[in-house]
């Protein structure tokens, strides 16, 4: 399904709902009319959520390409992995923002977002800590040697 066909289908349903509102009001179906009016009021949130996800997908692809290009000197496997991490991180944030725009379980989304940020922070700290053990040992060894020389 292309973007133009998706937008066309969305516009079709908007026209149908807008046409149904006065029709059901004329028939005296107040509850159905209220439901359709509620749907029309919610529609801008849906459109904005779709726009957020689409822009997030475009930006995620752009960021992936930049990260792959910038890290190509590290090797093709590492650069592709870093690119995918950047892409999926942005996509996850875009989907969470879209769900927040739709008003879907605000507390759950906030908890998921905080958990995701904590996960990235802890993973980064562990990777840096475990990956930098040798460098830290060398630095501590040099500092100890300098301190013992000064005594």
Q: Are residues 72 and 136 in the same domain?
A: no
- The pLDDT of residue 11 is 84
Q: Are residues 85 and 13 in the same domain?
A: yes
Domain count within the chain:
2
The residues of the chain scoring below 70 in pLDDT are: 1, 151
pTM: 0.64
Q: Are residues 72 and 61 in the same domain?
A: yes
- The pLDDT of residue 63 is 92
Last residue of a domain, one of 104, 123, 142: 104
Q: Are residues 61 and 133 in the same domain?
A: no
73 SS3 class: helix
Joined tokens for residue 12 = 């079709």
Q: Residue 144 sits in which domain range?
A: 106-151
- The pLDDT of residue 111 is 85
Whole-number Å distance between alpha carbons of 50 and 83? 24
Buried b (16+ CB within 10 A) or exposed e, 55-91: ebeeebeebbeebbeebeeeeeeebeebbeebbeebb
């Amino acid at each position: 399904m292309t973007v133009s066909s998706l937008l066309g289908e969305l516009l079709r349903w908007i026209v149908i709902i807008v046409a149904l509102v006065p029709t059901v009001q004329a028939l005296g179906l107040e509850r159905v009319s209220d439901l359709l009016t509620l749907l029309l009021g919610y529609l801008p949130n849906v459109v904005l959520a779709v726009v957020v996800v689409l822009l997030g997908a475009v930006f995620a692809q752009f960021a992936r390409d930049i990260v792959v290009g910038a890290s190509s000197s590290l090797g093709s496997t590492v650069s592709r992995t870093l690119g995918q991490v950047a892409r999926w991180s942005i996509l996850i944030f875009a989907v969470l923002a879209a769900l927040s725009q739709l008003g879907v379980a605000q507390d759950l989304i906030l908890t998921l977002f905080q958990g995701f940020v904590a996960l990235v922070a802890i993973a980064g700290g562990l990777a840096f800590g475990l990956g930098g053990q040798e460098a830290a040992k060398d630095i501590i060894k040099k500092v100890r040697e300098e301190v013992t020389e000064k005594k």
